Homo-oligomer: A and B are copies of this chain.
Amino acid sequence: MLIIFVFSQFVGLSQKEDSIQIRKIFNEALANGHSYNNLRSLCKDVGNRISGSEGAQKAVEWGNELMKNYDFDSVWLQPIMVPKWYRGATEKLAIITPINQEIEVLALGGSVGTNGNLEAPLIIIESLEKLEETPSEMVKGKIVLLNKGFDPTTINTFEAYGPCATQRFNGASAAAKKGAVACLVGSAASPTDDFPHTGSMRYEDGIEKIPTAAISTSKADLLEALSKGNQNIKLALNLTCKDFGMVPSYNVIGEIKGSENPENIIVVGGHLDSWDVGEGAHDDGAGVIHSIEVLRIYKELGIKPKNTVRCILFMNEENGNNGGKSYAEFAKKSGEKHIAAIESDRGGFVPRGFSFDAQNYHLMNARKWENLLKPYNIHIWEKGYGGVDIGPLKNDKIALIGFVPDPQRYFDFHHTEDDVFENVHKRELELGCASIASLIYLIDKYGLGEETP
Contacts and interface: CB of A to CB of B under 8 A. Distances in A.
Interface of A: 26-27, 30-31, 152-153, 155, 157, 190-191, 350, 352, 375-377, 379-380, 406, 408-409, 412, 425-428, 431
A57 to B, nearest CB: 33
6 contacts: A26-B155, A350-B408, A352-B377, A377-B379, A379-B380, A408-B425
Contacts of A375: 155
A31 B350 contact: no
Contacts of A408: 350, 425, 427-428, 431
Contact of A350 (B30, B153, B191, B406): B406
Copy number in this complex?
Answer: 2
A308 B412 CA distance: 39
Contact of A153 (B27, B153, B428): B27
Given A377-B379, A379-B379, 4 more contacts: A350-B408, A406-B406, A408-B425, A408-B431
A191 B155 contact: no
Contacts of A26: 153, 155
Given A408-B350, A431-B408, A30 B377 contact: no
B406 A30 contact: no
A243 to B, nearest CB: 37
Given A425-B409, A427-B408, A155 B190 contact: no
Contact of A30 (B27, B153, B380, B427): B153
A383 to B, nearest CB: 14
A152 B191 contact: no
Nearest to A428: B408
B31 A153 contact: yes
Contacts of A352: 377
A153 B25 CA distance: 10
Contacts of A376: 155
A30 to B, nearest CB: 5
A242 B157 CA distance: 49
B153 A426 contact: no
A401 to B, nearest CB: 18
Given A350-B406, A408-B350, A155 B31 contact: no
A27 B425 CA distance: 29
Contact of A31 (B30, B152, B191, B377): B152
A380 B350 CA distance: 15
A64 B350 CA distance: 36
A211 to B, nearest CB: 33
Contacts of A155: 26, 375-377, 431
A379 B378 CA distance: 9
A435 to B, nearest CB: 11
A152 B427 contact: yes
7 pairs of A and B residues whose beta carbons are closest in the complex: A379-B379, A27-B153, A30-B152, A30-B153, A408-B427, A31-B152, A31-B153
Contacts of A425: 408-409, 412
A375 to B, nearest CB: 7
A26 B191 CA distance: 17
A167 to B, nearest CB: 20
Contacts of A431: 155, 408
A428 B191 CA distance: 12
A407 to B, nearest CB: 9
Contacts of A31: 152-153
A330 B376 CA distance: 40
